[in-house]
Amino acid sequence: MHRFFLPADWMARSTVVITGKLAHQMRNVLRLGAGDHITALDNSGWEYDIELQKVDSGKVEGRVINKSLSVAEPGTKITLYQALLKGSNFEFVLQKCTEIGVAGFVPVICERCVAGEPDSKRLGRWRSIITEAAEQSRRGKLPFLHSPVGFIEACKAASGIALLPWEGEKVRGIGDFLRSHTKPENDTVFSIFVGPEGGFSPHEVEFAQSCGIVPVSLGHRILRAETAGLVAAAVTLYEFGELGPR
């Protein structure tokens, strides 16, 4: 069944009205009609079974048949502080890390970043990639996308258990680090920092450590930046029991 994240104000208690591009897509691309069902999400963690009542090119109306809490949201909340990357590599990070369950993204401007800051058009494209990946992977909530921040500011903002995968770390592996944190009852919050193609500068690693952000190794192989974020997030979710039925 098709899933769509909708603006909360499109949903009333028992009805939903969809307009614009999405209405057009539903009728003319997906060929949906009256009587078909879709799943609507308002980013609250609830999802709604909607029976379509009227389907026109510019407007679709439906009735809420049932609502349920999404089961697909991890209790472990990871914010990925990912350095800006060239080309479509940052988009790869957004798509794949949304699929596996990352809670949000903060694009970080590091000393060795080659990629420039995204303009509003690019940020809009990034938001669409997150939405499509969240709908495809049946997420119950949309990961947030923060506006780009400098590395220093990012380190100061980091909350929860903060780690920085760094190829220069030769002692502490990510597995040992994660296992040294027992899973508390409530949801666990992580901040994971991944550098740009040229890596973190020594000064950045030093400053991160001064903020209590722990460098960890992802192994002897040097991963591409877009690979490292996905691996670090996946290992963290696995270690905290999020890659299997909860």
Contact set with ligand SAM (CB under 6 A) = 165-167, 194-195, 197, 199-200, 217-219, 221-225, 228
> What number of helices (H) and strands (E) belong to the chain?
7, 12
Report, in Å, the least distance between residue 221 CB and ligand SAM: 6
Q: Residue 243 has what DSSP assignment?
A: S
- When CB distances to ligand SAM are compared, the closest residue is 195
Report, in Å, the least distance between residue 110 CB and ligand SAM: 8
**3-state SS class at 8:** helix
Q: 74 or 199: whose CB is closer to ligand SAM? A: 199
Distance CA(119)–CA(191), nearest Å, equals 25
Q: Cα separations (Å) of 93 from 31, 100, 234?
A: 31, 11, 12
Report, in Å, the least distance between residue 188 CB and ligand SAM: 21
Q: 26 or 228: whose CB is closer to ligand SAM? A: 228
Q: Which residues contact 29 (CB under 8 A, 6 or more apart)?
A: none
Q: 155 or 228: whose CB is closer to ligand SAM? A: 228
Report, in Å, the least distance between residue 74 CB and ligand SAM: 22
Report, in Å, the least distance between residue 71 CB and ligand SAM: 32
Q: 83 or 134: whose CB is closer to ligand SAM? A: 83
Structure tokens belonging to residue 130:
């997150």
Q: Are the C-beta atoms of residues 217 and 167 closer than 8 Å to each other?
A: yes
Q: 111 or 135: whose CB is closer to ligand SAM? A: 111
Report, in Å, the least distance between residue 165 CB and ligand SAM: 3
Q: What share of the chain is helix, strand, coil (3-state, %, to 5)?
A: 30, 30, 40
Q: 62 or 215: whose CB is closer to ligand SAM? A: 215
Q: Residue 17 has what DSSP assignment?
A: E
